[in-house]
Amino acid sequence: MRLPMPRAGSVSLPRQTFDLQEWSGPFGGLGLLIAIVAGGLLNR
């Protein structure tokens, strides 16, 4: 069975929560990157 690899844009988060300005606040973009990587690992 081959599972479709999740794209960076297909994060199952609400648009309001997935805000670049909020993410780049405390983590300076690292939080966004970690969230995408963590989401990709969880969706495997």
Instruction: State both tokens at 38.
Output: 């963590």
| Domain presence at residue 2 | no
| Domain presence at residue 8 | no
| Domain presence at residue 35 | yes
Place of tokens 């995408």: 36
pTM (2 decimals)? 0.34
Report how far residue 44's alpha carbon sits from residue 10's, in angstroms, rounded to the nearest whole number.
14
| Domain presence at residue 33 | yes
| Domain presence at residue 11 | no
| Domain presence at residue 10 | no
| Domain presence at residue 24 | yes
Q: What does the pLDDT read at residue 42?
A: 80
Query: Which structural domain, as residue segments, surrounds residue 44?
Result: 19-44
Looking at 1-44, list the stretches that DSSP marks H as alpha helix, in order from N- to C-terminal side.
20-23, 30-42
pLDDT tens track for 1-44 = 565 555 555 555 555 555 555 555 555 567 677 778 888 888 76
Sequence-ordered list of residues with C-beta below 8 angstroms from that of 24, at least 6 positions apart, any chain: 31, 32
